[in-house]
Structure 1
Amino acid sequence: MKKRNIPIILLAIAVVITGAWGYWQYRDKNRYYTFLDNQFQRMFYDTIGNVETISTDISKLLVSSQEKENIVLYSNILMNAYNAQGNLAQLPIKHREISKVEKFLNQLGDYTFALSRKNLNGEELNDKDIENLERFQSYAMDLGKDLHGLHDKALKGSVWKGELRRKGTKELNEEAKKKSEIQTRLVKFQERMVEYPELIYDGPFSEHAIQGMKPRLKGEKAGEEEARKRAVQFVGEYVVEKVSRSEESKSRLSAYTFTLKPKNKEEGKENPIYIDISEIGGRPMLMLNNRKVEKANISAPQAVKIASKFLEEKGFKNMKPTFNLKNDNVLVINYVYMQDGVMMYPDLIKVKVALDNGTIVGFDSTKFLISNYSRGIKSPRLTPQEAREKVSIRVETTEEPRLCYIPTDYLKEIFCYEFEAQYKGDTFFIYINADTGAEEKIFKLIKSENGILMI
């Protein structure tokens, strides 16, 4: 009789142990949720503080007349814009639905940096600058109000915990389709951002340098059928099954936009290819294939060779690869135009290579088509040795400097010597005006497993 009771006793003990284990798991899970909830709330509050400070500092900037005070305000706005963007990026939100908010914060910081450079050069804000700052402040105030509208929900703990618990349930796929309160508010905010200032500084070698520039592209206007043919030719006739016309491009150049349906698409997936062909000259401007690249089978140097050959075959001659970045098994490579041995940084082309099979999945020649022309290159007033004397004595330069044209914040170009310099194990690129000896730009070279960038 006692022996028959042993399994029952063991089963009861097992049930108790399992229940205790389940309770501890439940409690640990709740602790984890509470920890993340507190983390998200802190980031949320920090974002509110960043945005409110931005709005306040812009208002101060608009009434300030002292250069020293302006420098402090510019620095604060820049720091808070980037901090807000960083905090926002870590919140449990579908970021594709708030991309304009993130872009707004990023460009606000970059625009502020451009204005601070003007301030350092003794230039005053013009009417356009004032108008842009007022609009930036208006958007910052709106964003602050929307964030405050979520304040009570965040305090009650119902915002982040709800998000976390949904993501831990079997109903994840269904719930993920629903917008959280935070997403809804931020989506409404970005819907109000119909237009915001376009005079944005986003790096000297970036697309923003072409805003306001009169395109230099010349040629006869291409008709829709001709543009359609060129779109297919650019991608490859063997690739394309069907071509359809999309809405008009909103690029700096008027263009025809087409959607190409590939022949060898994955089963159940369209994987369309989007391409813009300029109306003037019928030149390929943009191409994007958003197919998923599962793994990397080829190296970055191999991808660069593939991209260089592609540009040569498509008629883009004398292009030199400069810097690249790997993301999601795709390598993005920047190319600059070479004229008589001089690098033309304003004439930029970007090429994206899929690292699984080496196909071209992205192409952007917009900046090249807008700014490329034959420059009248004159001999520099300074010799390489004289220019080297303008570089800090604390750095070591090991190679001969290269001549180049670099774009400025405000649609001009500067003829420079490019020095590659070393300092305490870091690599820098220093740009010295080839005529005046002024130090125009300094960039730090960042090498990582994902590629090479200058910041």
Structure 2
Amino acid sequence: MMFSRITSFVVVLALVVAGFWGYREHREKQALLLKAENQYQRAFHTLSDHMNLLQDELGKSLAVNSKLQSTSSLTEVWRLSAQARSDVGELPLSLMPFNNTMNFLNDVGNFSYRVAVHKDEKQPLTDQEWNTLQTMYNRSKGLEKQLSSLQTAVIQKNLRWMDAELALAQTDKKTDNVIVDGFKAMEKQVRNAKPLNFGPTANALKTRNNTDVNKLSGTAVNPQGAAEAAARFLGHANTQGISAKRNGQGNLYPSYSVTAKLPGDGQAYMTITEKGGHITNYMNNRGVGDPKLDLDQASAKATAYLKQKGIAGDTIIRIDQYDNVGVYEIVPTQDGVRIYPEKTTVKVALDNGEVVGLVAQDYAFNHVANRQIPAAKISEAEARKFVSPKVQIQETHRSIVLDDLGREQFCYEFIGTMDNDTYKVYIRALDGKEIGVEKLK
């Protein structure tokens, strides 16, 4: 009888142990599958972002006159094409032919590298090189469109990459998978296109750093000083309810993260520079109700807010709307010249017109009171000749912008359209040199 009980106990214990190990193994397996799925999703969405940026940069490089030196956008194209290839390599596509798309990305990278780095900067693009660039732009636009549609499907239908991997592994039967079909369509599009023609091939993109602490005015502040700066900005009588903590290594500049209690159980988050105690970011995290103001009405709130805070800014250069919040990019003007290095972004809640966000990093690091505006040495009409005839110019302004080396340049700013996209082209007012091209969303 005793032996029977012991045997039963051992059997039960063995079953419990086996069940525990089975459950543990199942959990570990699920954790590994979840980790793999998350890695695939990250790589896919990053690929989509890089392809979108790649298409934008190719478009920028086309928005300048083909008889001038190529733009630094091509160096960015070279970098983005390499990143896109790396993103594809992280996806489970090894069982599916995808070599044509990979070769296209490789060709884009090699061509842009030759043009941007190896070509003599005094030599313009040849007609053949220009046509190749145009072809790359058109093809990348098609791929980006397909990838964007696939990304929408993945998000809306909550599609899993693990299912796509399983579908690819089942080579013995026909499978129906949206992700697999999407990538097969991309590969077919590239495979059916005519081969690219490469001509002989100027300009390296330099690193730009606009957060040099030496540009900041004032002396260093401690946490208490940062809290006091926050109180002044918010209009509080004292620092009660405000706490400041110094940010660690890895930030763009020495700064403090500040939290502040607001009326009605609200809370504000701010970033304040250690040198000078300048507010570079402000966010009020309250929920925003249904809109009662339109974007035009809220724009007056944005410019009035900057004036109240003593921040120069009177020209709105861009307006967006996200989640019942109006987002305004604003620059100051001096003698009719737009000062882009001093840009701020103001976020206005459309339910009551309250400012719920401010990004003033550029302003803090680049603001100059009564800056000297140089005299133009070429006319607007002369500068217009340096813009590609493919761009249909709609607006012209005078602007101070930063070049790729972070130097301020006095330019004519031409806003125009090409291929249903809108671009800003900056031509230096001293000699007609193209300083930069910006694609507007």
- Tell me the TM-score normalised to structure 2 length: 0.53
Change (3 A) 1:306 1:280: same
2:229 — aligned with what? 230
1:258 — aligned with what? 258
3-state SS of 2:341 partner: strand
Moved more, 301-310 or 217-226: 217-226
3-state SS of 2:340 partner: strand
Mapped to 2, the partners of 1:114 and 1:295 lie a distance apart of 49
Deviation at residue 310 of structure 1 after TM alignment: 0.5
Mapped to 2, the partners of 1:387 and 1:252 lie a distance apart of 36
1:336 — aligned with what? 331
What per-residue deviation string (whole Å, max 9, x for no partner) do you get for residues 178-228 of structure 1?
xxxxxxxxxxxxxxxxxxxxxxx8xx9xxx943564541212344544432
2:80 — aligned with what? 78
1:371 — aligned with what? 366
Mapped to 1, the partners of 2:276 and 2:46 lie a distance apart of 50
Contact 2:47–2:87 under 8 Å retained in 1: no
Does 2:356 align with 1:361?
A: yes
Mapped to 2, the partners of 1:230 and 1:45 lie a distance apart of 39
Change (3 A) 1:410 1:283: same
1:406 — aligned with what? 401
2:241 — aligned with what? 242
Deviation at residue 394 of structure 1 after TM alignment: 4.4
Deviation at residue 280 of structure 1 after TM alignment: 3.0
Does 2:379 align with 1:383?
A: yes
The one-letter code matched in structure 2 to 1:261 is K
Mapped to 2, the partners of 1:154 and 1:321 lie a distance apart of 46
Change (3 A) 1:405 1:73: closer
Deviation at residue 287 of structure 1 after TM alignment: 0.9
3-state SS of 1:210 partner: coil
Mapped to 2, the partners of 1:339 and 1:122 lie a distance apart of 34
1:289 — aligned with what? 284
The one-letter code matched in structure 1 to 2:255 is A
Matches of residues 140-289 of structure 1 in structure 2 within 5 Å?
155=165, 209-211=208-210, 213-237=212-236, 242-248=241-247, 251-265=251-265, 271-289=266-284
Mapped to 1, the partners of 2:432 and 2:378 lie a distance apart of 7
What per-residue deviation string (whole Å, max 9, x for no partner) do you get for residues 40-83 of structure 1?
99x769849969x99xxxxxxxxxxxxxxxx9997475246469
3-state SS of 1:307 partner: helix
How many percent identity over aligned positions? Answer: 26
1:97 — aligned with what? none
Change (3 A) 1:433 1:120: farther
Contact 1:246–1:257 under 8 Å retained in 2: yes
Contact 1:47–1:84 under 8 Å retained in 2: no
The one-letter code matched in structure 2 to 1:233 is R
Number of equivalent positions = 290
3-state SS of 1:346 partner: helix
Contact 1:240–1:261 under 8 Å retained in 2: no
Change (3 A) 1:317 1:396: same
Matches of residues 292-303 of structure 1 in structure 2 within 5 Å?
292-303=287-298
3-state SS of 1:308 partner: helix
Deviation at residue 406 of structure 1 after TM alignment: 1.5
1:317 — aligned with what? 312
The one-letter code matched in structure 2 to 1:257 is S
What per-residue deviation string (whole Å, max 9, x for no partner) do you get for residues 229-259 of structure 1?
3312322439997222334376544333321
The one-letter code matched in structure 2 to 1:242 is G
What per-residue deviation string (whole Å, max 9, x for no partner) do you get for residues 346-386 of structure 1?
12211111122211111121111112225432211101121
- Tell me the TM-score normalised to structure 1 length: 0.52
Does 2:417 align with 1:417?
A: no
The one-letter code matched in structure 2 to 1:231 is A
The one-letter code matched in structure 1 to 2:247 is E
Deviation at residue 438 of structure 1 after TM alignment: 2.2
Deviation at residue 116 of structure 1 after TM alignment: 7.6
| Structure 2: stretches of 5+ with no match in the other structure | 1-36, 52-72, 91-107, 123-159, 168-204
Change (3 A) 1:311 1:297: same
Contact 2:210–2:365 under 8 Å retained in 1: no
Contact 2:75–2:117 under 8 Å retained in 1: no
The one-letter code matched in structure 2 to 1:413 is E
3-state SS of 1:303 partner: helix
Contact 1:304–1:333 under 8 Å retained in 2: yes
Change (3 A) 1:114 1:303: farther
Contact 1:275–1:284 under 8 Å retained in 2: yes
Mapped to 2, the partners of 1:286 and 1:221 lie a distance apart of 18
Contact 1:335–1:349 under 8 Å retained in 2: yes
Mapped to 1, the partners of 2:363 and 2:113 lie a distance apart of 23
The one-letter code matched in structure 2 to 1:363 is L
Mapped to 1, the partners of 2:358 and 2:412 lie a distance apart of 29
Change (3 A) 1:115 1:209: farther
**For the aligned residues, what is the CA RMSD?**
4.7
